[in-house]
Chain A
Amino acid sequence: MIVEANGVRFAYVSDEGKYTFALNDVDITIEQGEFVTILGHNGSGKSTFAKLVNALNVPTNGEILIDGMDTRDEDNLLDIRKTAGMVFQNPDNQLVATIVEEDIAFGPENLGIPREEIRERIDYALSVVHMEKYRKHAPHMLSGGQKQRIAIAGVLAMKPKIIVFDESTAMLDPKGRKDVLNIMRDLNRNEGITIILITHYMEEAVYSDRVYILDDGKVIKQGDPVDVFFDYDTIEKTGLTLPFEAKLIRDMEKTGVAIRHTLDTEELLEGICQLK
């Protein structure tokens, strides 16, 4: 297990000293190489969980182990941050340098990695995000999607085993979103990196191996995307929406039409053809 959260609670303390549990008794386990999506409405605890993975938050109760390392142990901090990288919503908050390659080098330089290897890591990271041509460009002159790809390259240069994407596509235009999603899938398939995707877009969850739904700080459902999205009641109850295919199938079922559950457009089309 690359991520193992056991009975995790996380409390925020208000100014008046009142405790609110953003996460309440959460168990989440993720295997090396999995692509896992975490869904839930605003305030469900998704982002709190994301921050637990690379020890930006530590649990109030319970434990979270990252590649076997307990995040509560401060001696593990550096290794945990090397293991689990994060890509946030707004790339402007994550870019630090005025030239793309310097930005990507920032992390590895701080680790004291030799120059030659840093150069190799920059080459590698830029090629994975298809931004080789922009090596000498200024990040602030790039589009949102391109900036986000540079932010991903910066994380990749740290050679992490896990990357957490915390609503990283929310601010992008459709092309930028598609590019970033494709890169996530490449990272997972080709580089073997474990992906944890936090998102409000149901159609992005369709590609994952497993989906967790958080509601009020608790895991209320987990399983493969078909299992999760065809549990219509849970989806509705938590204020989420159905991906297009699931919505159409649900509406067909309501009128007494039986059709195979799928999130794949091609399979849905075939199902409809058979009914004709």
Chain B
Amino acid sequence: MSIKVDNVSFTYMKKTPFQVNALKNISFEIKDGDFVGIVGHTGSGKSTLIQIISGLLKEYEGNVVIDGIDYNDKKADRTRLRRLVGVVFQYPEYQLFEETVEKDIAFGPKKLGLDEKEAEERVKVAMDLVGLDYDMYRDVSPFQLSGGQKRKVAIAGVLAMEPQILILDEPIAGLDPQGRENFLELIKSLNECGMTILMVSHNMDNLVEYAKRIIVLKDGELFMDGTPAEVFADKEKVAEASLNLPEVASFCDRLREKGFDVPDSIIRYEQLKDYIISTVGGSYDD
């Protein structure tokens, strides 16, 4: 499902002394099945951008077209758009409200007008996707679960709507290390099944491991756009956007200072590991 953002601008508190131009003439396209990381310093416009793409902020200038449907088109089928685009906000578990896990996940599908049987089927599939056993957890109160499990229930509620595009805002903040890894693997597998992913994150280490493309915003403008290797190769621009280098990239720099001839293409941990091991003469047993 493609996303086309065409010359979009947005101003908060227009015509007041607090006016902020949060987005300025942003244009880009995201193709079907892509995994895009959206990064930028706090206040760069990331959250505004994803709220516009999810159809939550309306008073913007320019056009946003999802799968050929323009949000601004008066005849646009908004219900269809809402189904196409799923959004997982920061700390989504705060939005849980039902008595049982099953009821919470089924809330959206039922609002779509699905009957009990269909809704139950959606819940089963969604719980299976996030790795929660249906029989074990269906009747449990979501509030009795651990933080990581609550978040799984929250995302299952979004997945039960069968979105084609999934937008996530800092999805792993507050999870423990195992929870973080499981969650990122889940998003990766959804992407491999064809879901288009847009993920806002401050964690560059995760993005270089998972995203196929990175869009950098700075002061409301599109500042950089490319593969993780392309973006983080331009150290000066990355610093200008007040972004941290991923751990691997900054370690490569330090190695270069020490006289190692590290190729620019090395951006993920596995690549760095293989490079070092081959350079210092280690050998894999298997």
Contacts and interface: CB of A to CB of B under 8 A. Distances in A.
Interface of A: 41-43, 89, 143-144, 167, 170-171, 173-176, 200, 202, 239-241, 244, 247-248, 251-252, 254-257, 265, 269, 272-273, 275-276
A276 B43 CA distance: 44
B51 interface: no
B173 A170 contact: yes
8 contacts: A42-B148, A241-B181, A252-B273, A265-B251, A269-B254, A272-B255, A276-B279, A276-B280
Contacts, number: 84
A248 B254 CA distance: 15
B65 interface: no
Contacts of A247: 269
Chain B interface residue number, banded: 35 or more
Contact of A269 (B42, B258, B273): B258
Contact of A241 (B148, B174, B177, B282): B177
Given A167-B174, A265-B251, A42 B179 contact: yes
B175 interface: yes
A42 B147 contact: yes
A176 B43 CA distance: 13
A175 B177 contact: no
- Report the 7 A-B pairs with minimum CB-CB distance, sorted nearest first: A255-B282, A239-B178, A275-B280, A257-B282, A241-B177, A41-B176, A42-B176
B254 A265 contact: yes
A43 B146 contact: yes
B258 A273 contact: yes
A152 B259 CA distance: 43
Contacts of A144: 42
Contacts of A167: 174
B93 to A, nearest CB: 12
B276 A239 contact: no
Interface of B: 41-43, 146-148, 173-181, 202, 242, 244, 247, 251, 254-255, 258-260, 269, 272-273, 276-277, 279-285
A241 B177 CA distance: 6
Nearest to A178: B244
Contacts of A176: 42
A42 B43 CA distance: 30
Given A41-B177, A43-B146, A255-B283, A175 B251 contact: no
A257 B181 CA distance: 27
Contacts of B202: 173-174
Given A41-B178, A43-B146, A171-B173, A248 B276 contact: yes
B280 A257 contact: yes
Contacts of B177: 41, 200, 202, 239-241
B178 A244 contact: no
A257 B247 contact: no
B281 A275 contact: yes
B177 to A, nearest CB: 4
Contacts of A171: 173-174
Nearest to A274: B280
B206 to A, nearest CB: 12
B277 A175 contact: no
For B178, B272, B280, which residue has the most chain A Cβ atoms within 10 angstroms?
A: B280
Nearest to B144: A14
A253 to B, nearest CB: 9
B132 to A, nearest CB: 15
B269 to A, nearest CB: 8
Given A255-B282, A255-B283, A256-B283, A244 B251 contact: yes
Contact of A42 (B175, B254, B272): B175
Contacts of B260: 276
A257 B281 contact: yes
Contacts of A248: 272-273, 276
A247 B273 CA distance: 10
A57 B202 CA distance: 34
